[in-house]
Amino acid sequence: MSTPPKVYNLRPRVRDQRPTVTRRTSQRKTTLSTGRGGKTRAQLLKEIQNLTLANNALVSDNQELQKERNDLRIRVQDEILKNVMLKEKLDKQNKDLEALMEQQAEASVVLPNSCLICCENWTSSGTHRMISLACGHLFGDSCIRRFFQTGTLSCPICRRRAFMSDIRYIYVEV
Ligand SMILES: [Zn+2]
Ligand SMILES: [Zn+2]
């Protein structure tokens, strides 16, 4: 036996709507008592009730899903806002860093003001005045002369050959 199709329309079918009162009455009686597929009205009502319950459950699920979706949207917006703020902070830090690096670059072109042999400041005149060798390295006059007197004829920094005659006084305008 095949399952009858589920039809919940209780209206009489079009061909049954002929204006014969007796026919209509008897048809209605039949429809209301057993319905299609031999189901009683009580069975149909029960099915409708069950379907209504299922529908209510779906509506409730849908509401929960919508609430979750709203929560998620709020969280996403929060995250976006946080990201924007983080990016601003990062941009500011990058700018600060760039400024600092510029300062350092400027500082690095300033001549060192101490002799690379004794680490003392050199002077603009006198025995420890600033000199350079042919390689360009700078020392205090007395320090490099003492170094050459040890017999090593090279720059203490880069080891290029160097002689007393390479010594050049450096004049720095202060
Ligand atoms: Zn020195
Ligand atoms: Zn050198």
Q: For 162-171, how does the pLDDT look when each residue is reduced to its tens digit (9 = 90+)?
A: 999 999 999 8
Q: How far apart are the CA of 118 and the centre of ligand 1, in A?
A: 4
Range of the domain at 140: 112-174
Considering the domain architecture, whether residues 77 and 125 belong to the same structural domain is answered as: no
Percent with pLDDT over 70 in the chain: 75
| Ligand index nearest the alpha carbon of residue 147 | 1
Considering the domain architecture, whether residues 95 and 132 belong to the same structural domain is answered as: no
Element containing residue 120 per DSSP (H, E): none
Residue 22 lies in a domain: no
| Protein residues placing their CB within 5 Å of the ion ligand 1 | 115, 117-118, 140, 143
Considering the domain architecture, whether residues 123 and 167 belong to the same structural domain is answered as: yes
Sheet holding 138-140, edge to edge: 138-140, 130-132, 168-169
Give per-residue pLDDT as tens, 69-112: 999 999 999 999 999 999 999 999 999 999 988 887 776 655 56
Considering the domain architecture, whether residues 127 and 152 belong to the same structural domain is answered as: yes
The mean pLDDT of 158-162, rounded to a whole number, is 95
Confirm whether pTM is higher than 0.75. Answer: no
